[in-house]
């Protein structure tokens, strides 16, 4: 049994993916893996994600034995994580992922939609400039935005509008106390629940978009509302950046998505790692099933300013380690040979730049851009650089997250 094996992932062609004509990263990676498998290049219209792991909806294949990684592993050492690369052209749905307790409840009550009883924390690392929404804005930011788009009062109602205004005035926008959390919860729930009643929301959305179009000097928030409206006209999610934080990340910066936190990826190309689960609760910017009642009843409404993390510098690597046990990601860029000690986790290795040889006790394999490896737990590897090489390694959180 070899301790390092070549791996081919599965590609997803969701509607929000980048078109083939733009030669997106997902296409280039997947075609490199097809070439390594002696298969012709792919021919899809859209390239959204490539999955590396054992998820049943996109299982990876061990190239040299032509068997799935899932069938190779025993249930006791199956991967708890899924590594992905995303090429994002169009905003993804506004969604949240349930915590473990809620996931179990949803799976028991509606297994056709919530297919596993597991949580789904996730982390994104920018490979190009990357934009996303994550979590509710602080009270001062939310209140300030609402003054710019007062038409929203017609959707949420006078009482919710007044309650939020009083919270802001009582705390000067600085404190997210219990009353404020309840007020924001009621405000957002009323917005989502009332939006589609008698075309109320779409009418308000149209008024706001019309007013923005008439402005000479548009803000970045105006531009984002126009972008969402062009992609999902009059959808309830068009106005979501008014409520949710908008982040613009540089390559190498990351964000972590906690359970029960609303979020949506907007544009860019990223590495994503997550717990191996299907549980997604959606509410907007999608043609898929929207579970508004469950989402509004489960969100964390405490506003915050999201942190952009750059990982922790290690020897020959940068470590991105969220506060969950399921996964961590390590990135490396090498100009000279380097030996990596063994880790107590099976590892998925993905080359994103250059070429190298990966050497272990018992063998070696050449790796170039786009190619991937599965590495057994407890394996020491030496990376011998042929051309400046960049790669990522995904594994269980071995730092006690």
Q: List, as residue ranges, the binding site.
A: 95, 97, 122, 263
Q: CB under 8 Å to 189, separation ≥6 — which residues?
A: 296, 297
Residues at the binding site for Zn(2+) are 95, 97, 122, 263
Residue corresponding to tokens 């007044």: 162
137 in active site: no
The closest of 396, 362, 400 to 381, measured between CA atoms, is 362
User: Given the DSSP bridges, would you call strands 18-19 and 81-88 parallel, antiparallel or unpaired?
Assistant: unpaired
Q: To 10 degrees, the CA torsion angle through 282, 393, 78, 1?
A: 150
DSSP conformational letter for 236: G
DSSP H or E stretch at residue 186: helix 178-194
Per residue in 129-163, is it b (16+ CB within 10 Å) or e — as a string?
ebbbbbbbbbbebbbebbeebeebbebbeeebbeb
Residue corresponding to tokens 């929207």: 290
Please report how many Cα atoms fall inside a 13 Å half-sphere around the Cα of residue 348, on the Cβ side: 32
Q: CB under 8 Å to 286, separation ≥6 — which residues?
A: 92, 93, 94, 95, 232, 237
Pair 167, 289: CB distance under 8 Å: no
Tokens read off for 247: 């982040």
Catalytic residue, candidates 6, 137, 276, 282: 282
User: Given the DSSP bridges, would you call strands 130-136 and 122-126 parallel, antiparallel or unpaired?
Assistant: unpaired
| CA–CA distance, 292 with 201 (Å, rounded to integer) | 15
Name the H helices within 220-326: 220-231, 292-298
The residues annotated with a catalytic role in the active site are 282
């Amino acid at each position: 049994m070899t301790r390092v094996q070549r791996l081919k992932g599965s590609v997803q062609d969701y509607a929000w993916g980048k078109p083939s004509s733009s030669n997106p990263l997902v296409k280039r990676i997947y075609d490199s893996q097809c070439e390594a498998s002696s298969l012709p290049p792919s021919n899809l219209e859209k390239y959204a994600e490539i999955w590396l792991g054992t998820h049943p909806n996109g299982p990876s294949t061990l190239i040299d034995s032509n068997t799935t990684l899932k069938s190779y592993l025993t249930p006791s050492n199956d991967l708890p994580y899924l590594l992905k690369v995303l090429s994002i052209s169009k905003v993804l749905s506004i969604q949240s992922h349930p915590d473990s307790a809620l996931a179990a409840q949803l799976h028991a009550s509606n297994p056709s939609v919530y297919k596993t009883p597991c949580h789904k924390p996730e982390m994104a690392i920018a490979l190009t400039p990357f934009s996303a929404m994550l979590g509710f804005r602080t009270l001062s930011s939310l209140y300030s935005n609402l003054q710019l788009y007062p038409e929203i009062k017609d959707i949420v109602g006078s009482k919710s509008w007044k309650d939020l205004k009083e919270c802001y005035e009582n705390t000067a926008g600085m404190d997210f106390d219990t009353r404020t959390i309840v007020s924001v919860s009621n405000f957002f729930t009323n917005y989502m629940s009332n939006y589609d009643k008698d075309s109320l929301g779409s009418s308000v959305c149209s008024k706001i978009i019309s007013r923005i179009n008439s402005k000479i000097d548009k803000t970045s928030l105006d531009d984002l509302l126009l972008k969402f409206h062009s992609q999902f006209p009059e959808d309830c999610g068009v106005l979501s950046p008014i409520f949710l934080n908008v982040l613009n990340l540089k390559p190498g910066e990351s964000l972590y998505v906690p359970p029960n936190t609303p979020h949506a990826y907007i544009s860019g190309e990223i590495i994503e790692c997550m717990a191996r689960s299907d549980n997604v609760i959606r509410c907007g910017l999608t043609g898929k099933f929207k579970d508004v009642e469950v989402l509004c009843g489960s969100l964390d409404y405490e506003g915050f300013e999201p942190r952009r993390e750059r990982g922790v510098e290690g020897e020959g690597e940068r470590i991105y380690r969220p506060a969950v046990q399921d996964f961590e990601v390590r990135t490396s860029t090498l100009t000279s040979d380097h030996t990596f000690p063994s880790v107590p986790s099976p590892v998925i290795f993905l080359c994103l730049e250059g070429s190298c040889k990966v050497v272990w006790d018992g063998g070696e394999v050449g790796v170039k851009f786009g190619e991937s490896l599965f590495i057994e737990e407890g394996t020491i590897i030496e990376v011998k650089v042929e051309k400046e090489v960049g790669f990522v390694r995904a594994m269980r959180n071995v730092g006690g997250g």
